[in-house]
Chain A
Amino acid sequence: MKILVVDDEADVQLLFEQRFRREIREGIFSFAFAFSGEEALAYLQQGHYSEVVLILSDINMPGMSGLELLRCIKQEHPNPPPQVMMITAYGDDASYQKAMELGANNFLAKPLDFAALRQMLLPLNEQ
């Protein structure tokens, strides 16, 4: 299962790779990383759109925000829509409402609980 993680923090890549080291090694998950919304869109448009099953995106990013990215994905590439989960440090209602309106599949708060995330992702892989 290909997962695209969008976050402006570069260390996120290392964290995810180390956290899901076992899953990557076992070939359950494969990760792609984009460090901005624009980069993520570009990556998807380079033909990876069909590969990516899940997008994990931060909301608060320089340039295109996670919510704008969500709108682009959900409205410009509606078919087949990848699973999009938003991750934010701002666990506020407004962002949550907005994300849900734009069609986010889930909404996660930072700091990420990787154990919980793993429990959430594994069933997706089985699908």
Chain B
Amino acid sequence: MSAEFQFLPVDESLYSAVVGLLGAGSAGANPGWLPHNVSAAAPDGLLLDSGWKYQAGHNLAWARPEFDDHHWPTITPTHSVYQLPQLANTGWLRLHFRVAPALRQQALALRVYQYAASEIYFNGQLVRRYGKLNGPPAQVQPYWPNGEPIELTLSEQPEQVLAVHYAQWPNFRRFSDFFVPVFFQAHLDGLRQVVDFNQREATYKTSDMLLFGLFLLLSTLHLAFFIYNPAQRANLYFTLYTLAVATSFCCTGFLDEVQRSDVRLGLDILSYVALQTGGVLAVHALYCLFSVRRTAVYYGLWLVNGLSLALLTYGHGLSWYPTVAFMVLVSAEQLRLTVGAMQQTRRAVGIIAVGFAIALVLLVLFGFLARFHQPVLQMELLSVPVHTLLTFPAFLSPVLAISLFLARQFALDSRLLKIKLNQVRLLSEQTLTQQREKQVLLAQQNEMLEQQVQQRTAALQRTLLHLQTTQDQLVQSEKMASLGELTAGIAHEIQNPLNFVNNFADVAVELLLELKEGPVQALPAPDKEYAHELAGELAQTLEKIQTHGHRADAIVRGMLEHSRAGTGQRELTNLNALCDEYLHLAYHGLRAKDPTFSATLTTDFEHNMGVIELVPQDIGRVLLNLFNNAFYAVQMRKQQETKEYRPEVRVKTRRTANTVEVVVRDNGTGIPASVVEKIYQPFFTTKPAGEGTGLGLSLSYDIITKIHRGTLRVDTKEGQYTKFTVSLPVGQSSEVPAEHSIR
């Protein structure tokens, strides 16, 4: 752009130079021929824009200085071809000018700008040929000399003659006077002006190339952003935008290096196309960036873009205002989008806003200066012109702002990504931990399960053992049962004959009594005495038969009781009452036989005994046995010892969680250690023959252990005490049904 701007200031400055230098000697003021008077080097050189003569034709003789051209019509070749309709395809331009003698010794350079092909003759000498003039108009090759300095060798005469043989390229007529602003422009400069001009050109080019480079860099950067993150489409359009602007600056920067005018014109147009299209692409990028739906405004922009470019290219007299207008539109749209985004509180949209604001302020300032304080723009600050200082950041700031915004977003996104990554890592760690915990839990459960299985197995084994024991007991019970039946059978069979023995003994005693009272009285004395004696002995013998018969009877009864044990039903029984009842029964039974006997009865009954399920007849028999034994023991000791001995029988009941206990303790004779082992054997007794059957404890033991699954323990010390402890299980007694027990 800046290269393009140069025309305006250069034109202006040249114009002012002409006015300043020539004063009233302007070409337009003098009719007819009036040569320039170059008397001093103007600060900006001298634009040779007046005093030119024109003639169509090919005559090479018209190059000679002495040729009289005063009848040729005048022309202003610095106008555009559009303004010079009289120009033929080929022709000549001639200019006479004077140089002050003081200046003739200095080096003077001619600089030419043209939209044509030409041969430059100075004082009759061909000094340059620009482009190809020969042939038909279509084959003419226009040439852009870009104001290269042509050193002029001045003649001794004060008047110098510049003759230009030109050929037009007809296509230039089609384009607007913005792209083809002049036909032919010659500039006369001193050495200083040439250097200044070249420096300025270099500055423009440098700033163009800098901008080109920067935009290309941004373009590459955002292309990379887009390639690595295609989701952010804004990057793509931003890439295209910056690429377009870079193209524009590239075209502008290299414009003056292109010598072929037609190509140069193409590049020139392209730079504007790229610039404007870039603006639309920037709008597109903003649409993407702010996630705004594209509306008719956007598509309208494209339309206006095309229109303004057409106007710029083909419309005459519009200068660059189509582009300016379009860029204002684009800026307005960009501003609208930015403001909209700011209202939606998009984070950091302020950056873009600031970018636009800077650009706007700078451009407004530039416009203001260009319109009202032109020279200020030409001033240099650190050898950079003010207008470059203004335009350069104006172009760059929105782009940099958007780029910064995108970069910031990218950075934020990547930071967010990092945070999310961390979260994911944390989550996965948690998951891992949970899995580990689950595994641990599973292992624990497995272990527990195994333990449970072991426990169950153990329980099953116990049950199995219990079953085996029960089976053994059942087998034992069956054995005992059959033994019991056998015993009962034997007992009955013995009982019948025993019945006769006892009864016939009784009868015999009665008969003997009758005999003694009756017939024996009738016998003579000696016989009578003898008969008495015999009868007495017979009576004694019968008594023995009776005694032993009754003894056998008692044994048989015991055996029958033994076999009959366990036939009773289990009932809920008050054990305390049962103990009390049988204790007194036993005591009074003994007192009935021996009224002199007395003993202290001490009872200590459990209060919370409740009722126990047992066979009351059987347990009663056991208790009776134990009490009888106890009383017998204290009675025996009483007979052996002194009066200080106090017989005592203690009965205690206790209940634990699983058992009930009846403890019967006497302070009698005790049981000798040698016989303790035998006390439960059937028929074992320590009582004199006839007094005990030896079946009591045996029967009790069976009742307690086999029928009630309890225990019967004895603790004794000979001569001091005997303690029997009956322990019955509670709640398990029904495990083995009574009918399977011993009968």
The answer to the question of A42 belonging to the interface, with a C-beta cut-off of 8 Å to chain B, is no
**Residue pair B495, A111 in contact (C-beta under 8 Å):** yes
Return the contact of B504 from the options A9, A15, A60, A112 (Cβ within 8 A): A15
Considering only CB atoms and an 8 Å cut-off, how many residues of chain B contact the other chain? 17
The answer to the question of B79 belonging to the interface, with a C-beta cut-off of 8 Å to chain A, is no
Q: Which residues of A contact B499 (CB under 8 A)?
A: 89, 110-112
Closest to A93 in B: B567
Q: Which residues of A contact B516 (CB under 8 A)?
A: none
Return the contact of B503 from the options A91, A92, A93, A111 (Cβ within 8 A): A111
Closest to B499 in A: A111
Of A11, A91, A110, A111, chain B has the most CB atoms within 10 Å of the CB of A111
The answer to the question of B498 belonging to the interface, with a C-beta cut-off of 8 Å to chain A, is yes
Q: How far is the CB of A21 from chain B (nearest CB, A)?
A: 8
Contact with A along B52-86 (1 / 0, CB 8 A): 00000000000000000000000000000000000
**Residue pair A92, B495 in contact (C-beta under 8 Å):** no
The answer to the question of B299 belonging to the interface, with a C-beta cut-off of 8 Å to chain A, is no
Q: Which residues of B contact A11 (CB under 8 A)?
A: 500
Give the residues from 85 to 117 in chain A that come closer than 8 angstroms, CB to CB, to chain B.
Answer: 89-93, 110-112, 114
Give bound CA distance, A13 to B499, whole Å: 13
Give bound CA distance, A11 to B500, whole Å: 8
Give bound CA distance, A26 to B504, whole Å: 21
Give the residues from 57 to 92 in chain A that come closer than 8 angstroms, CB to CB, to chain B.
Answer: 60, 89-92
The answer to the question of B553 belonging to the interface, with a C-beta cut-off of 8 Å to chain A, is yes
Closest to A114 in B: B503
Q: How far is the CB of A57 from chain B (nearest CB, A)?
A: 15
Contact with A along B467-495 (1 / 0, CB 8 A): 00000000000000000000010001001
**Residue pair A19, B553 in contact (C-beta under 8 Å):** no
Give the residues from 1 to 43 in chain A that come closer than 8 angstroms, CB to CB, to chain B.
Answer: 9, 11, 15, 18-19
Return the contact of A18 from the options B492, B495, B511, B560 (Cβ within 8 A): B511
Q: How far is the CB of B650 from chain A (nearest CB, A)?
A: 35
Return the contact of B498 from the options A19, A91, A111, A114 (Cβ within 8 A): A111
Q: How far is the CB of B725 from chain A (nearest CB, A)?
A: 32
The answer to the question of B564 belonging to the interface, with a C-beta cut-off of 8 Å to chain A, is yes
Q: Which residues of B contact A15 (CB under 8 A)?
A: 500, 503-504, 507
Give bound CA distance, A110 to B497, whole Å: 11
Q: How far is the CB of A119 from chain B (nearest CB, A)?
A: 15
Q: Which residues of B contact A18 (CB under 8 A)?
A: 504, 507, 511
Task: Evaluate whether A19 and B503 lie within 8 angstroms (CB atoms) in the complex, with A93-B567, A111-B553 already known.
Answer: yes
**Residue pair A110, B496 in contact (C-beta under 8 Å):** yes
The answer to the question of B543 belonging to the interface, with a C-beta cut-off of 8 Å to chain A, is no
Task: Evaluate whether A114 and B567 lie within 8 angstroms (CB atoms) in the complex, with A11-B500, A18-B511, A89-B492 already known.
Answer: no
Of B495, B498, B503, B506, chain A has the most CB atoms within 10 Å of the CB of B503
Give bound CA distance, A9 to B504, whole Å: 14
Q: Which residues of A contact B553 (CB under 8 A)?
A: 111
Interface size class of A (residues with CB under 8 A): 10 to 19
The answer to the question of B502 belonging to the interface, with a C-beta cut-off of 8 Å to chain A, is yes
Q: How far is the CB of B386 from chain A (nearest CB, A)?
A: 141
**Residue pair B503, A112 in contact (C-beta under 8 Å):** yes
Return the contact of B495 from the options A89, A93, A114 (Cβ within 8 A): A89
Q: Which residues of A contact B498 (CB under 8 A)?
A: 111
Give bound CA distance, A111 to B564, whole Å: 17
Q: How far is the CB of B554 from chain A (nearest CB, A)?
A: 12
Q: How far is the CB of A92 from chain B (nearest CB, A)?
A: 7
Closest to A115 in B: B506
Closest to A9 in B: B496
**Residue pair B500, A19 in contact (C-beta under 8 Å):** no
Closest to B743 in A: A92
Q: How far is the CB of B508 from chain A (nearest CB, A)?
A: 9
Give bound CA distance, A110 to B502, whole Å: 11
Q: Which residues of B contact A91 (CB under 8 A)?
A: 560
**Residue pair B564, A92 in contact (C-beta under 8 Å):** yes
**Residue pair B492, A19 in contact (C-beta under 8 Å):** no
**Residue pair A90, B492 in contact (C-beta under 8 Å):** yes
Give bound CA distance, A15 to B507, whole Å: 8
Give bound CA distance, A111 to B502, whole Å: 8
Q: Which residues of A contact B567 (CB under 8 A)?
A: 92-93
Closest to B553 in A: A111
Contact with A along B554-579 (1 / 0, CB 8 A): 00000010001001000000000000
Give bound CA distance, A29 to B399, whole Å: 153
**Residue pair A110, B564 in contact (C-beta under 8 Å):** no
Q: Which residues of B contact A19 (CB under 8 A)?
A: 503, 506-507
Return the contact of A110 from the options B488, B495, B507 (Cβ within 8 A): B495
Give bound CA distance, A11 to B507, whole Å: 13
Q: Which residues of A contact B502 (CB under 8 A)?
A: 111
Give bound CA distance, A90 to B495, whole Å: 10
Q: Which residues of B contact A110 (CB under 8 A)?
A: 495-496, 499
Give bound CA distance, A19 to B511, whole Å: 10
Q: Which residues of B contact A114 (CB under 8 A)?
A: 503, 506
Q: How far is the CB of B20 from chain A (nearest CB, A)?
A: 162
Give bound CA distance, A110 to B503, whole Å: 11
Give the residues from 505 to 562 in chain B that come closer than 8 angstroms, CB to CB, to chain A.
Answer: 506-507, 511, 553, 560
Give bound CA distance, A60 to B488, whole Å: 14
Q: Which residues of A contact B511 (CB under 8 A)?
A: 18
Q: Which residues of A contact B560 (CB under 8 A)?
A: 91
Give bound CA distance, A118 to B348, whole Å: 134
Closest to A89 in B: B492
Give bound CA distance, A96 to B492, whole Å: 16
Give bound CA distance, A76 to B506, whole Å: 38
**Residue pair A89, B507 in contact (C-beta under 8 Å):** no
Q: Which residues of B contact A92 (CB under 8 A)?
A: 564, 567
Give bound CA distance, A18 to B564, whole Å: 33
Q: How far is the CB of B138 from chain A (nearest CB, A)?
A: 151
Give bound CA distance, A34 to B737, whole Å: 43
Give bound CA distance, A16 to B239, whole Å: 145
Give bound CA distance, A111 to B549, whole Å: 11
Task: Evaluate whether A89 and B496 lie within 8 angstroms (CB atoms) in the complex, with A18-B511, A111-B553 already known.
Answer: yes
Give bound CA distance, A92 to B484, whole Å: 14
Q: How far is the CB of A112 from chain B (nearest CB, A)?
A: 7
Give bound CA distance, A116 to B560, whole Å: 22
Give bound CA distance, A60 to B502, whole Å: 20
Q: How far is the CB of A16 from chain B (nearest CB, A)?
A: 9
Q: How far is the CB of B98 from chain A (nearest CB, A)?
A: 174
Q: How far is the CB of B363 from chain A (nearest CB, A)?
A: 132
Give bound CA distance, A94 to B159, whole Å: 177
Give bound CA distance, A89 to B492, whole Å: 6
Closest to B501 in A: A111
- Would you list 20 pairs from A and B whose C-beta atoms are within 8 A, ordered by A residue? A9-B496, A9-B500, A11-B500, A15-B503, A15-B504, A18-B504, A18-B507, A19-B503, A19-B506, A89-B492, A89-B495, A89-B499, A90-B488, A90-B492, A110-B495, A111-B502, A111-B503, A111-B553, A112-B503, A114-B506
Known: A110-B496, A111-B553. 14 other contacts (CB 8 A): A9-B500, A15-B500, A18-B504, A18-B507, A19-B503, A19-B507, A60-B492, A89-B495, A92-B567, A111-B495, A111-B498, A111-B502, A111-B503, A114-B503
Residue numbers of A with Cβ under 8 A of B are: 9, 11, 15, 18-19, 60, 89-93, 110-112, 114
* 8 closest Cβ pairs, A-B complex: A111-B499, A18-B507, A89-B492, A89-B495, A110-B499, A15-B503, A11-B500, A111-B502
Residue numbers of B with Cβ under 8 A of A are: 488, 492, 495-496, 498-500, 502-504, 506-507, 511, 553, 560, 564, 567
